[in-house]
Amino acid sequence: MNKLFTLIFALFLLVCVAQTSEEKTTVVQITSDNSDIIKTGNWLVEFFAPWCGHCKRLAPIYEELAQLYNVDIDNSKVKIAQVNCVDHQSVCSKYDIKGYPTIKYLSEGEIKDYRGSRDKNSFITYLDNMSKSPILIIESKEQLKEKLQENKVSFIFISSGSESKDKKILNEYKIVTKQIQDVECPNFLVVMDQSLVNDDILPIKADQQPILLVYKDNEYQSYQVNNENGMSVNQWVRVNQFPLVSELTYSNQHMLTVSFKKIVMFVFTKKPTADNIQHMKSIASSKQFKSNPTDFGFTYIVENTFANWISSFKLEKTPAILVFPEKMDIYYYEESIDPLDKSSVLQFLSDVNNNKYSLKYLNRLGYYLDKIEEFMVEYLYYIVGLIIVIPIILFFTCSGESKEKDQ
């Protein structure tokens, strides 16, 4: 009896300790009642389930992070928070949480998936970078040269010298840079003094109008206010944030699918050669895509990097070419197309655009269930309204018919 009492008492103490530690956590607890607080400011939010093993392993690291950033919560540059998806399913559904733990960075309503390593130093490096302005004000010619020599896409806004003339384009530029800021984002540069720009650095001359350029693939392109494609600054920056051909990574996958209507993916067994990359660039720069630059985004992938995922497509051979019109669960694939033959690929892409090929599915049932879920979320209020209204209409209709029969 004494042993049983001791065991019960020990279990009671464990429960109390667990509850106490949970109450004392420095991590901000997001619930269905207070979820609006993460719409403003900078937040790193973990969506977790209590039974999840990975979540339990992350817990002490996440607590250390919270103790670092949440000490002075009102003045913190970023706040550390979490959502218990078992207790607050509505919040997790709102953020489209499919697995645990999922970690997202929210900045003034902009939402980005955290895809880095889950150790304290990686979190700190990420948060310190993300909490800074994505825009760099250029102070010298040497600094501008140095940034343009980096192996990445660079956007350059050059001031006209007039605040009123700059205002519209500069404001739009600032908004989109914040929206696409991430670990692998381009350089976003602002030159307020046109004297810092000369022929040795940029192939332009001083202008009375503000100038917005992108430098990628060793070439410059300028944004035209009245461009023939009718693109806003936001659209133009999103389309041009990638090189002509990008290697597909976990970090850029989402942004690519958001920026382009379709993603063209070349699949290689090994890292593509310089000739392979030049071949892909020649396809991506083809004239047939100039009039509608948002139609296709071009990427490549090395098979052994995403071995399990690539194996699900059951490709006959590599190199191969896949085209994704949405998220990467539906696709076009034709084994007879030679990815290394430019004319063959261009014809294939033209036929895809003209709906001459049938879609293939990694998981047809899952795809349609997701579509139904998206439809229900989008039209939830209408569906609830119909569920309420239809029985009322049927009731009065049936009541009216009954009265007529009685008469």
* Annotation says 52 is catalytic: yes
Separation between Cα atoms, residue 104 and residue 115, nearest integer Å? 9
Distance separating the N- and C-terminal Cα atoms of the chain: 78
- Catalytic residue, from 55, 85, 92, 185: name it: 55
- Residue 55 annotated in active site: yes
Rounded to whole angstroms, the Cα distance separating 45 from 66 reads: 11
Kindly list the catalytic residues: 52, 55
